[in-house]
Amino acid sequence: MKSELDRRSHEWTGHERVIVFDGVCNWCNAWVNFAIDHDPQGKFKLGTLQSEHAKQILQELQLSTEDFETFLLLERARVFTKSTAALRIARHLSGFWPLFYLCIVIPRPLRDAVYDFVARHRYKWMGKAEACRVPTPSERARFI
């Protein structure tokens, strides 16, 4: 998988940080709510994997545009997935959450194995919505 996008071909690469998540996954939406609550400075923009912009990015990265195995963290044109994306997000949250970034020293195959286990079971554990989440009026500026 490529780890960088062409900045000229993707509108979202103009933002400092974008979390691209499964908009119908209740587990993912809970984590997005958590990120919003712990990101009072609004460092992160948010977009759904179901959007046309995300589908274009997924195709370029040669990832599925229908069966989502990961969410994406875009830092300008750089792309991070799975546990690395989660840890890079944690490092920018308020409170003690940045301490979790220390887990980056754990080899990625081990971290991603845990991530993959959760990803495989997330719909069973938390369910799936019929449609993508609709941001509240106060959240709307955070979504792209």
What pLDDT, on the 0 to 100 scale, is given for residue 67?
Answer: 86
Measured between alpha carbons, how far is 47 from 51 in angstroms, rounded to an integer? Answer: 7
Rg of the Cα atoms in the chain: 14
Backbone torsions φ then ψ of 117, nearest 5 degrees:
-60, -50
Q: How far apart are CA 57 and CA 38, in angstroms?
A: 27
The pLDDT score that the predictor gives to residue 2 is 63
Global pTM reads: 0.91
CA distance 98 to 87: 8
**What pLDDT does residue 1 have?**
61
**Size of the chain, expressed as the number of residues it contains:** 144
Q: Which pLDDT score, from 0 to 100, does residue 4 have?
A: 85
Q: What is the CATH number of domain 11-135?
A: 3.40.30
Domain assignments of the chain as residue spans, ordered by start: 11-135
Q: Write the pLDDT tens digit of every residue in 19-70.
A: 999 999 999 999 999 999 999 999 999 999 999 999 999 999 999 998 888 9
Q: What rounded mean pLDDT belongs to the chain?
A: 92
Q: Is the pLDDT of residue 120 over 80?
A: yes
